[in-house]
Amino acid sequence: MKTHTLIQGSPEWHAYRASVWNASDAPAMMGCSPYKTRDQLLRELATGLTEEVTPEQQRRFDDGHRFEELARPLAEQLIGQELFPVTGSSDEVIGGRALSASFDGLTMLEDMGYEHKSLNNDLRAALPMSGKANSSDTLPLHYCIQMEQQLMVSGAERILFVASTWSGDRLTEERHCWYYSDPALRDKIRAGWAQLAADLAAYTLPEPKAAPVVAAVQESLPAVSVKVNGALAIVSNLPDFGQALREYIAKIPEKPSTDQEFADTEAACKALKRAEDALEAAENNALAQLSDVDTMRRLVADFKALARNTRLQREKLVAQRKDQIREEIVMEGRRALNDHLASLNTRLGKPWMPTITADFAGAVKGKRTIDSLRDAVNTTLAQAKIQANEIADRIQLNLNTLRDQASEHGFLFADASTIVQKAPEDFALLVKARIAEHQQAEAARLEAERERIRREEAARLEREQAAAQARAEQEARQTEAKRIEAERDQQAALQTSLVEPAAPVLSDKAVADAKAGAHISRVADLGRQAVQMAEQVDMVKAAHAAEPATLKLGDICARLGITMTAAFVADTLGIKPSATDKRAVLFKESDYPRICRALAQHAMASIDQLQAA
């Protein structure tokens, strides 16, 4: 907090107050001050002119300052520390002005403050315990607003609120309570000063305010005179009275629209009522004199009806016109609020703003003058604008969050028009939760897709490996068959060559050489075939080694329709399992033909053993 050494009432003091938002003006800014309206504060800030202090007001101010000084030692005793009066301002700037407050007292560490008010009946009702600490919950709002801004400026933790009265230097009565900060009220004060700054920037002086309305002096109608002469003739001024009455009625405003016209019309209605009474009295007087009664009575009745009808019509017109002007002022407030909401929607880029309800009708209840009607509507309008600005700022923050964090996930926020009105912290959590949930679901979907692709790829590889192994085995069997067939052909040819006589008779040596050459050639062929078969076996083994183990022993038994143990397959048939899955023993798919052949060979060997026995 920045402190300022100023003398109250000095030019420097006035210049300083004109450049900051003062805590003492905060209640009027919020439209809840019992001493000054918001419109009055706006005019003072715009013109720099304030109403002159009356002697009675100055007396109250002087008493207040004296009571404040007298009560300071009591406050120091309650706080337990010395207090120092000070004027300070904060670094926080709203609408180009810093927040300011004048403290009746602050501690040296500026952690506690003191605020004094003269005790009145309202404070007695709010602080019922005399001489003991009360709760600040019942304090009138305008006191809380002033102290809340004091806490905003000083950064203090709490303020001691003291209300007292004194007889000379003797304390006659005292009430006090501790005031602690209200974050919600603090936000409203900030928004209120921001709205006042906007209204001040657009402020134009209203039409000069008329003097207090006083009904114009009403023209007196002629006195009604009705006499009876000795000849029983009516002597009266009724014709002249009727002419004057008609001229008087013509001067009455037919559609009053200002406070002056309303006052004049109401006064004229009272004059017409007096004319009615005078005509009735004259009629009664004439009747008592028993003269030309019929003519007199007809004239009196006509003029009386004219005065009465005109009075009733104008009275009704005054009431209707007052209601009409009241409605016009209320409608102006509603139109201004709608225009403000439209400007906020323009700022936000879309019609995000909710409907803001302002009780203009309730605000004008009990108001009698046009000035009081307009002040009530303007104050309610300002409060509604503050509320709308808070909502718009909240929506803007949430839209920024949506743009920064969820630009790629707009489809998750189809209900954005509703949820953007949430508190920014709640909205940010909601955005993160929806995105996280979507990402989790998307990750699960992608993982399921990858797993499906892995299963399909594994199945494809298994099929290809099984097909390759089957082809290799087929090729090996074909090669073996060809080899056996070739050996048979060679043996047959050799036998033929040994049995059939050769055309030429060879010597023993030639025959031996021929046999040796044929044997060498056969051995070479067998060597080549052995190499080829070894290469094929190596290929089969490589394919078998790369093949995954997925075939359970139970599946093998199910295919054969028999029951075998893993030990029987491994020890008796000589085919070891390739892997285990928990308690299951796994073989490769290419092991199945081997198991079948080994099982068949085992069965044939068993038959041979039985036959041999």
Tell me if 496 sits within 8 A of 442, measured CB to CB.
Answer: no
Distances (CA, A) of 596 to 589, 600, 602: 12, 6, 10
Residue 197 domain flag: yes
User: In the prediction, which pLDDT does 47 show?
Assistant: 75
- Least confident segment among 34-48, 153-167, 442-456, 544-558: 544-558
Residue 388 domain flag: no
Which ranges constitute the DSSP H helices of 500-588?
Answer: 508-546, 553-560, 566-567
If pLDDT is split at 50, 70 and 90, which confidence band does 315 have?
A: confident
Residue 542 domain flag: no
- Is there a single domain that holds both residue 49 and residue 171? yes
Mean pLDDT of the chain: 83
pLDDT at residue 194 tops 70: yes
If pLDDT is split at 50, 70 and 90, which confidence band does 314 have?
A: confident
Residue 538 domain flag: no
User: In the prediction, which pLDDT does 209 show?
Assistant: 53
pLDDT at residue 425 tops 60: yes
User: In the prediction, which pLDDT does 141 show?
Assistant: 95
User: In the prediction, which pLDDT does 139 show?
Assistant: 95
d(C-alpha 313, C-alpha 561), whole Å: 115
Distances (CA, A) of 534 to 161, 480, 520, 539: 106, 11, 21, 9
- Is there a single domain that holds both residue 239 and residue 124? no
d(C-alpha 526, C-alpha 451), whole Å: 50
Q: Which residues are registered as beta bridge partners of 178?
A: 160
- Is there a single domain that holds both residue 175 and residue 89? yes
If pLDDT is split at 50, 70 and 90, which confidence band does 154 have?
A: very high
- Domain final position from 341, 360, 381: 341
User: In the prediction, which pLDDT does 334 show?
Assistant: 84
User: In the prediction, which pLDDT does 583 show?
Assistant: 75
- Is there a single domain that holds both residue 38 and residue 137? yes
Q: Residue 358 contacts by C-beta under 8 Å, 6 or more apart in sequence?
A: 333, 334, 337, 380, 381, 383, 384
484-530: per-residue pLDDT in tens?
888 777 777 766 655 545 445 445 555 555 555 655 666 556 656 65
If pLDDT is split at 50, 70 and 90, which confidence band does 601 have?
A: confident
- Domain final position from 341, 363, 391: 341
DSSP state at residue 222: P
d(C-alpha 513, C-alpha 94), whole Å: 122
pLDDT at residue 80 tops 70: yes
If pLDDT is split at 50, 70 and 90, which confidence band does 293 have?
A: low
- Is there a single domain that holds both residue 158 and residue 21? yes
517-555: per-residue pLDDT in tens?
655 666 556 656 656 665 665 665 666 666 788 888 788
Residue 265 domain flag: yes
Residue 405 domain flag: no
222-248: per-residue pLDDT in tens?
666 656 555 445 667 888 888 888 888
Total count of domains within the chain:
3
d(C-alpha 518, C-alpha 516), whole Å: 6
- Is there a single domain that holds both residue 137 and residue 230? no
CATH number for the domain that contains residue 9:
3.90.320.10
One-letter amino acid of 490: Q
Rounded mean pLDDT of 69-84?
95
pLDDT at residue 176 tops 80: yes
Tell me if 234 sits within 8 A of 226, measured CB to CB.
Answer: yes
Nearest residue to 176 (alpha-carbon basis) of 84, 105, 255: 105
User: In the prediction, which pLDDT does 502 show?
Assistant: 46
User: In the prediction, which pLDDT does 524 show?
Assistant: 59
Rounded mean pLDDT of 347-367?
85
User: In the prediction, which pLDDT does 179 show?
Assistant: 96
If pLDDT is split at 50, 70 and 90, which confidence band does 421 have?
A: confident
- Is there a single domain that holds both residue 23 and residue 87? yes
Measured at the alpha carbon of residue 78, what is the angle toward residues 75 and 79, in degrees to the nearest 5?
85
| Paired tokens of 513 | 């050489």
- Is there a single domain that holds both residue 43 and residue 88? yes
- Is there a single domain that holds both residue 189 and residue 319? no
- Domain final position from 341, 367, 386: 341
- Is there a single domain that holds both residue 174 and residue 29? yes
- Is there a single domain that holds both residue 21 and residue 88? yes
The helix or strand, by DSSP H or E, that contains position 3, with its residue range, turns out to be strand 2-4
Residue 280 domain flag: yes
- Is there a single domain that holds both residue 133 and residue 241? no
Q: Which domain holds residue 606?
A: 548-613
- Least confident segment among 186-200, 207-221, 372-386: 207-221
User: In the prediction, which pLDDT does 503 show?
Assistant: 47
Residue 266 domain flag: yes
If pLDDT is split at 50, 70 and 90, which confidence band does 216 have?
A: low
